[in-house]
Amino acid sequence: MANARGPYAKSTRVRAAAVEAAAELFGGAGYRGATFKDVADKLGMTAAGLSYYFPDKDSLLRAVLEERDRPAVTAETALPPSPSHAELTDHVMAILSENIGHPGLAELHCVLSAEATSADHPAHEHFRDRYRKARELLTDALSAAAAHGEIRSSVPPRALATLLLSVLDGVQLQWLLDPEEVDLRETVRAFVSDLLAPSSPA
């Protein structure tokens, strides 16, 4: 970044501001509900001016997915290969704390992943592959944990991995809709610390 000054620095700043604005609009109105011009308006630019940095709405979406979808994946890969039950609980609660601290990102993920269920949505492959990778990583970790008697072994690890991701998404949806009524932390904690616990004392 030794040359990050002058026009280059400005370009970096505008790009970062555009990704920020697009993430906010996509999280609120959805990718399909927000227009390229909405993003330009939010930045106080013309659409032609914004197109100098991002040619179209698709390129904005790609940048948002690359830069905003990172925390959760990083967190997923930080799970030890054979976690103890306590490590698994701590790991899930850490992901959750990050989401609670950034409700805008939680909403962005919620809205874009739902929109992306349409096979023709530009983020369809991104979310399909992201969930595939997350299920694989979690399945491996939960298999190892089950083999060591750290979590319940009565259900296939792959089903537990799918359920854990579902619980994170589904409880967050209810919490985003109704933050006063839904205790996101305690509900998810109950799932991991109690429902995933080994059936009989190890």
Residues that bind its own copies (CB under 8 A): 28-34, 107, 110-111, 113-118, 124, 127-128, 131-132, 135, 152, 154-156, 159-160, 162-163, 165-171, 173-174, 176-178, 181-183, 186-187, 190-191, 194-195, 199
Rounded least distance, CB 197 to its own copies, Å: 9
Residue 45 or 168 having the CB closest to its own copies: 168
Q: Which is nearer to its own copies, 63 or 160 (CB)?
A: 160
Residues 6 or more apart in contact with residue 32 via CB below 8 angstroms: 115, 121
**Minimum CB separation from its own copies for residue 175, in Å?**
9
Q: How far is the CB of 200 from its own copies (least distance, A)?
A: 9
Nearest CB to its own copies, comparing residues 15 and 20: 20
> Which residue has 């914004």 as its token pair?
50
> d(Cα 77, Cα 160) in Å, to the nearest integer?
17
Question: Given the structure tokens 């905003």, which residue do they identify?
Answer: 68
Residue pair 152/196 in contact (Cβ under 8 Å)? The answer is yes
For residues 144 and 176, which CB has a smaller minimum distance to its own copies in the complex? 176
Q: How far apart are CA 38 and CA 21, in angstroms?
A: 9
Residue among 18 and 25 whose Cβ is closer to its own copies:
25
Cα 104–50–127 angle (5° rounding)?
40
Q: How far apart are CA 57 and CA 72, in angstroms?
A: 24
Closest contact distance (angstroms) between CB of 166 and its own copies is 3
- In 3D, which of 87, 111, 94, 106 has the Cα closest to residue 26? 111
Least Å distance between CB 45 and its own copies? Answer: 22
Cα 100 to Cα 102: distance, rounded to the nearest angstrom: 5
